[in-house]
């Protein structure tokens, strides 16, 4: 007999694949998405030219596929497994594939949920018309709720309309997706700034949802600020004025202060409103900029230099008018904890002349309209005190979501909040405990089609990431409404879709069927599988076929095999190519598609 | 069915000391039955060559006919290869070896290719002590023709169809010992921890290194009653000693218990460490190996591990005192010096 030593202490327990989160975590993109959109599922549908179905999967999950396919912060992409299988590989262009589905879909109206004519007698107020509120409406209107939506602007969409420039998000795309929801019989109260929560609460609403975002752009109180006021703009206010066509021109020389995505939108918008010499100036090093790398690239492509390590000191005024900005020079030093300090270099200050300045250095929450004696408690940074799961405030009928809940995030996070708040509101209005929340829907189905055939496209292509084609710069800079990105066409979309590794097709192992022939271990291209004696995790991770150094990725551990060894699979760089299952003589390995859906309000009482 | 292996490999796997990744020693994706023991042996060859940093162009893989003899397609894609006639791998290897003594010769054969049609060639390759590794992927049946008993099927072993084998088995390892092979080992495809160091030692050995590797036929000979199934071999396996291959100049990190271990030095400076020795067995004593093999057979054990090694082995070129330069690197004038030279040789015998 084999004589394997078996450590008695702290050996790894067999993996419980019935835990819905185990395989969910393997689908890196879906796990990283705040709304947990089933990414590989819709990418396969795009490859199959089934754009409408791909769109609807997105719509169920993230409500604004056309918007997000252009503007999402895409937390899925840094998580994408493709990006770590070799040094040269980049993630699948998940975000832009979503746009392919939106661009090529056919009519979807008949696929939208039916709105019951007979209402359920409950009334909900949504304050703010952005992505969070619209998501709540999308989830509750089909259940018979009477929805009232209040917004200070003349149209719905919130920051998607006021802060995202039209050259990144055409107004028709936004209108289409906002209208799918407003057409669900939502009572809209536009051009209606809610100035008192008390007034809202005094009306007969059964619940109130606050999705008012983080509407206050930070100002920069430097010498000369007041005198220069006519030519100094707060970034998000500037973008909103442009969106609603209150502002159509800026000076030739523009300085944008700040290094986030709003700063990128401000500088690119300025280029289209007459700005010929537009500069972004950040106070810290280039690499610390908060803007997404692709937005920085897009700005640089439009001839916008980014100057770093230059904190502004003064708005320089001449003859009562802004003449430019004076900047200091610093370098960054980091202590052991990685905390940054900006140290003046001693070089002389630099004056940069300009006609206009945009301040895009961050934004804050602001609730001046919520009276503080209503029972809604506020905590740190003047943010409401909320339950992190239910989004319920200390006044039970009031719920928060989006940037209004925990501070500025992004659209996809606001959508995720909206779905969860809708569940809470539904439970609350039905008199249930808001913590009595439904489990996610999961489904695990074998992809076996024949002896060595799979339903999914298992071969792994070698293509590197495809670039989205852009409109000619000369044309796109002429008009702020001309979209810069042209999107993948169908052919390019197919090729990019084929790069997806299908991480939702799981390698499922059945210990009792395994004869320990090692075939899976031998064939695995990325050395993920090891048969070895069990042990402590740290020890095991070091002695697998390839060391499992990515601690954020799980080890899939089998029960003990007849030789007392265990099968251990490091999920980290598994290509989901299906070769282990193809070379398994007993089908101990099987490729099974795992579908994980966050349960929405509509399923609460089904 | 996938015919192409993805090109991606684990990004942190190291390169060996001559700068090759393990992938550089791989071959095409196998078309043998899923779960075939032969694939594990192929993987062990890949692992051994990668770890030993064999230069791929310095190795020739040769085979005959059969499932086993298909496997050279599945390993060492960057090496020389010759897929010869059924049972004729040893003579093709002999020719290649005579012409170029500088290559490593890795012969792969099966129980049919060796113990039946190729028996005549096999025994003479042993006698001549060709400097080669000769691996028999031994599954006890003719897998390629639907699983008839082969000459190495054990007496009484039951086939998938349910019939008992009524003939005595040829024990290839015992035979190699008898014929004076200078390196004899037996292993099991399902035990890479033993097989990989054995292949490395066999490559280092200057002379005929024979490895009889039991390799279950998962399609035709993995049933109850078969003596070459995964389950049967695992239940009856015994080893002469745990084997460890230590490359030249490497430090020995494992402490071996005294009296229970032995060290065999090889010509190239590497060595084999054997620990937990079987009683009454000495790796360099042919008689003790024969006895140990017989004793295991009587007890119904499958004896694996290194059985015998002759550290003083002299291969065919040394025995014949051939010139050091490979013959294929010589020009015509050196190889055929002409009538005058022939005359002077002839005259020297007068």
Q: With contact defined as beta carbons under 8 Å apart, do A54 and A493 qualify?
A: no
CB proximity A575 to B under 8 Å: yes
CA distances from A99 to A11, A90, A241, A568 (A): 46, 19, 27, 38
Cα-based angle A507, A510, A511 (whole degrees, multiple of 5):
125
**Regions of chain A short of the pLDDT cut 50:** 1-7
Domain assignments of chain A as residue spans, ordered by start: 1-29+441-463+498-606, 33-110+464-497, 112-215+365-429, 218-363
Round to whole Å and give the CA distance between B235 and B155. Answer: 18
Contacts of A553 in chain B (CB under 8 A): none
Which pTM value belongs to this model?
Answer: 0.90
DSSP string, A163-174: TS-TTTS-HHHH
Contact: B216, A517; criterion CB under 8 Å: yes
Q: Are B212 and B136 in contact (CB under 8 A)?
A: yes
Q: Is A451 on the interface with B (CB under 8 A)?
A: yes
Query: What are φ and ψ of residue A260, in 5° steps?
Result: -100, -175
* Span B254-307, pLDDT tens digits: 555 556 788 888 888 888 888 878 888 889 999 999 999 999 999 999 999 999
> Looking at beta carbons, which residues of chain A come within 8 Å of B213?
none
Q: How far is CA B31 from the centre of its chain?
A: 22
Give contacts of A 393-422 with B, CB under 8 A. Answer: none
Judged by CB atoms closer than 8 Å, whether chains meet at A518 and B4 is answered as no
| Tokens 């282990």 sit on residue | A580
d(CA A171, nearest CA chain B) in Å: 42
pLDDT of residue A454: 94
Q: Which of A515, A526, A577 sits opposite B35 (nearest CB)?
A: A515
- Burial B223-242, CB ≥16 within 10 A → b, else e: beebbbbbebbbeebebbbb
Residue of A519, A527, A547 lying closest to B34 (CB–CB): A519
The DSSP-derived string for A273-313 is: TT-SEEEEE-SS-GGG--S-HHHHHHHHHTT--EE-S--EE
B216 part of contact set with chain A, CB < 8 Å: yes
In sequence order, which ranges of chain B are alpha helices (DSSP H)? 37-52, 67-70, 89-99, 111-115, 119-128, 172-178, 192-204, 230-236, 286-299, 316-320, 332-335, 339-349
User: What does the pLDDT look like over B97-121, one tens digit per residue?
Assistant: 999 999 999 999 999 999 999 999 9
Residue B212 falls inside a structural domain: yes
Q: What is chain B's mean pLDDT, rounded?
A: 93
Question: Residue A292: CB partners within 8 Å, gap ≥ 6?
Answer: A73, A74, A261
Q: Answer yes or no: do A522 and B190 touch at CB < 8 A.
A: no
Six-digit token pair at A49?
Answer: 């030219």
In a domain, B348, yes or no: no
Chain A residues with beta carbon closer than 8 angstroms to that of B33: 585
**Closest Cβ opposite residue A577 in set B6, B13, B192:** B6
* Closest Cα in chain A, distance from residue B201 (Å): 21
pLDDT in tens, B229-265: 999 999 999 998 888 888 887 765 555 555 678 888 8
B219: left (phi over 0), alpha (psi -120 to 50) or beta: alpha
Q: Which residue of A has its CA nearest to B38?
A: A519
Pairwise CB contact (< 8 Å): B1 & A573: no
Would an 8 Å CB–CB cutoff place B233 in contact with chain A? no
pLDDT in tens, A253-273: 999 999 999 999 999 999 999
- At a CB cut-off of 8 Å and minimum separation 6, what does B52 contact? B200, B203, B204, B247
For residue B129, what pLDDT is reported?
95
For position B277, what pLDDT does the model report? 80
Whether A268 contacts A302, CB under 8 Å? yes
Q: Is residue B171 part of a domain?
A: yes
B31 touches chain A (CB under 8 A): no
Q: Are strands A350-353 and A321-327 parallel, antiparallel or unpaired?
A: antiparallel
Query: What local confidence, expressed as pLDDT, does residue B309 receive?
Result: 95
Provide the domain count of chain B: 1
State the residue range of the domain holding B209.
22-317
| Percent of chain B that is helix, strand, coil (3-state, to 5) | 35, 20, 45
Q: Flag whether B186 is in a domain.
A: yes
pLDDT at res. A8:
52
Q: Is residue B166 within 8 angstroms of chain A, CB to CB? A: no
Is there a contact between A604 and A594 (Cβ–Cβ < 8 Å)? Answer: no
Over residues B82-92, the mean pLDDT reads 97
- Residue of A459, A522, A563 with shortest CB distance to B2: A459
A517 touches chain B (CB under 8 A): yes
Instruction: Report the C-alpha gap between A599 and A61 in whole angstroms.
Output: 10
Interface confidence, given as ipTM, is 0.90
Chain A residues in contact with B192 by the CB 8 A cut-off are 518
CATH of the structural domain A218-363, one choice from 3.30.450.20, 3.50.50.60, 3.30.1490.20, 3.20.20.70: 3.50.50.60
Name residue, tokens 């064939």: A523
Fold match, A112-215+365-429 / A218-363: yes
User: Does residue B287 sit within a domain?
Assistant: yes
- B29–A contact, CB cutoff 8 A: yes
- Cα–Cα distances (Å) from A112 to A52, A115, A494, B120, B228, in that order, read 12, 9, 26, 78, 62
The CATH number linked to B216 is 3.40.50.970
Report chain B residues whose CB lies below 8 A from the CB of A561.
Answer: none
Question: Which residues are registered as beta bridge partners of A180?
Answer: none
Does CATH place domain A112-215+365-429 in 3.40.50.970?
no
What order do you get walking across the sheet with A505-509 strand by strand? A441-446, A589-597, A505-509
Of residues B8, B12, B40, nearest to A525 (C-beta)? B8
Instruction: Please name the residue ranges forming H helices in A324-410.
Output: 403-406
Please state, in angstroms and rounded to a whole number, the distance separating the CA atoms of residues A415 and A60. Answer: 11
The four Cα atoms B144, B148, B154, B157 give a dihedral, to 10 degrees, of 120
Q: Which of B13, B39, B230 sits opposite A515 (nearest CB)?
A: B230
B62: left (phi over 0), alpha (psi -120 to 50) or beta: beta
């Amino acid at each position: 007999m084999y004589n394997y030593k078996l450590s008695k202490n702290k050996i790894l327990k067999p993996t419980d694949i019935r835990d819905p989160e185990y395989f969910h975590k393997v689908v890196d993109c879906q796990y990283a998405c705040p709304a947990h959109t089933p990414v590989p599922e819709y990418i396969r549908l795009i490859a199959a030219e089934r754009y409408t179905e791909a769109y609807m999967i997105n719509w169920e999950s993230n409500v604004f596929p056309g918007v997000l396919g252009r503007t999402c912060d895409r937390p899925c992409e840094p998580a994408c497994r493709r990006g770590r299988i070799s040094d040269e590989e980049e993630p699948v262009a998940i975000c832009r594939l979503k746009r392919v589905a939106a661009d090529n879909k056919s009519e979807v109206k008949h696929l939208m949920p039916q709105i019951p004519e007979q209402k359920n007698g409950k009334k909900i107020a949504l304050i703010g018309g952005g992505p969070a509120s619209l998501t709540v409406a999308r989830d509750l209107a089909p259940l018979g709720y009477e929805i009232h939506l209040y917004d200070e602007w003349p149209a719905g969409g919130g920051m998607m309309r006021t802060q995202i420039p039209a050259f990144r998000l055409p107004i028709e795309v936004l209108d289409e997706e906002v209208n799918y929801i407003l057409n669900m019989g939502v009572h809209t109260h536009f051009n209606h700034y809610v100035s008192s929560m008390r007034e809202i609460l005094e009306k007969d609403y059964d619940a109130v949802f606050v999705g008012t975002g983080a509407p206050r752009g930070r100002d920069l109180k430097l010498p000369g600020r007041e005198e220069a006021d006519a030519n100094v703009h707060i970034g998000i206010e500037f973008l909103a004025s442009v969106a609603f066509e209150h502002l159509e021109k800026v000076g030739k020389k523009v300085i944008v202060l700040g290094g986030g995505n709003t700063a990128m939108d401000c500088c690119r918008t300025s280029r289209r409103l007459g700005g010929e010499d537009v500069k972004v100036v950040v106070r810290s090093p280039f690499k610390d900029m908060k803007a997404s790398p692709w937005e920085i690239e897009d700005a640089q492509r439009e001839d916008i230099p980014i100057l770093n390590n230059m904190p502004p000191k003064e708005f320089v005024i001449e003859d009562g008018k802004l003449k430019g900005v004076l900047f200091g020079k610093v370098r960054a030093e980091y202590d052991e904890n990685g905390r940054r300090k900006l140290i003046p270099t001693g070089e002389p200050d630099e004056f940069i002349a300009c006609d206009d300045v945009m301040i895009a250095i961050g934004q804050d929450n602001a609730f001046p309209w919520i009276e503080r004696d209503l029972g809604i408690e506020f905590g740190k940074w003047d943010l409401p005190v909320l339950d992190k799961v239910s989004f319920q405030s200390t006044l039970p009928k009031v719920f928060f979501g989006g940037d209004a809940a925990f501070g500025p995030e992004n659209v996809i996070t606001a959508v995720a909040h909206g779905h969860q708040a809708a569940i809470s509101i539904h439970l609350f209005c039905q008199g249930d405990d808001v913590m009595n929340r439904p489990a996610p829907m999961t489904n695990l189905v074998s992809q076996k089609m024949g002896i060595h055939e799979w339903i999914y496209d298992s071969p792994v292509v070698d293509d590197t990431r495809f670039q989205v084609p852009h409109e000619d710069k000369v044309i796109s800079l002429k008009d702020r409404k001309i979209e810069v990105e042209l999107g993948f066409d169908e052919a390019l979309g197919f090729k990019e879709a084929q790069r997806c590794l299908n991480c939702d097709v799981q390698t499922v192992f059945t210990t009792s069927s395994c004869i320990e022939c090692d075939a899976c271990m031998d064939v695995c291209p990325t050395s993920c599988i090891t048969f070895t004696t069990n042990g402590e995790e740290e020890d095991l991770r070091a002695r697998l076929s390839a060391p499992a150094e990515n601690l954020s990725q799980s080890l899939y551990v089998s029960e003990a095999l007849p030789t007392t060894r265990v099968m251990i699979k490091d999920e980290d760089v598994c290509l989901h190519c299906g070769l282990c299952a193809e070379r398994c003589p007993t089908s101990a390995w099987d490729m099974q598609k795992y579908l994980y859906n966050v349960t929405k309000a509509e399923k609460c009482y089904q | 069915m996938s015919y192409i292996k993805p090109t991606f490999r684990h990004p942190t796997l190291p390169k060996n000391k001559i700068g090759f990744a393990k992938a550089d020693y791989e071959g095409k994706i196998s078309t043998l039955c899923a779960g075939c023991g032969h694939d594990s042996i192929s993987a062990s060859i890949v692992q051994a060559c990668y770890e030993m940093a064999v230069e791929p162009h310095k190795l020739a893989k040769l085979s005959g006919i059969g499932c086993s003899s298909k496997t050279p397609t599945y390993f060492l894609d960057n090496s020389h290869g010759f897929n010869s006639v059924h049972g004729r791998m040893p003579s093709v290897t002999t020719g290649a070896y005579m012409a170029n003594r500088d290559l490593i010769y890795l012969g792969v054969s099966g129980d049919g290719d060796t113990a039946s049609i190729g028996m005549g060639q096999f025994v003479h390759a042993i006698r001549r002590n060709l400097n080669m590794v000769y691996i028999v992927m031994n599954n006890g049946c003719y897998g390629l023709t639907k699983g008839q008993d082969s000459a190495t099927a054990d007496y009484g072993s039951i086939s998938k169809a349910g019939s008992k084998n009524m003939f005595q088995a040829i024990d290839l390892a015992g035979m190699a010992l008898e014929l004076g092979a200078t390196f004899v080992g037996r292993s099991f495809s399902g035990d890479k921890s033993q097989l990989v160091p054995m292949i490395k030692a066999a490559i280092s050995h200057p002379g005929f290194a024979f490895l009889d590797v039991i390799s279950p036929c998962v399609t035709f000979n993995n049933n109850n009653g078969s003596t070459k199934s995964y389950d049967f071999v695992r239940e009856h396996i015994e080893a002469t000693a745990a084997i460890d291959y230590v490359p030249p100049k490497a430090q020995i990190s494992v402490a071996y218990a005294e009296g229970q271990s032995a060290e065999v030095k090889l010509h190239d400076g590497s060595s084999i460490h054997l620990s937990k020795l079987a009683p009454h067995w000495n790796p360099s004593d042919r008689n003790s190996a024969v006895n140990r093999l017989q004793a295991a057979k009587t007890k119904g054990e499958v004896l694996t591990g290194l059985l015998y090694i002759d550290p003083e082995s002299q291969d065919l070129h040394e025995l014949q005192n051939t010139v050091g330069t490979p013959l294929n690197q010589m020009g015509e004038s050196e190889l055929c010096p002409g009538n005058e030279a022939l005359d002077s040789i002839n005259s020297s015998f007068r």
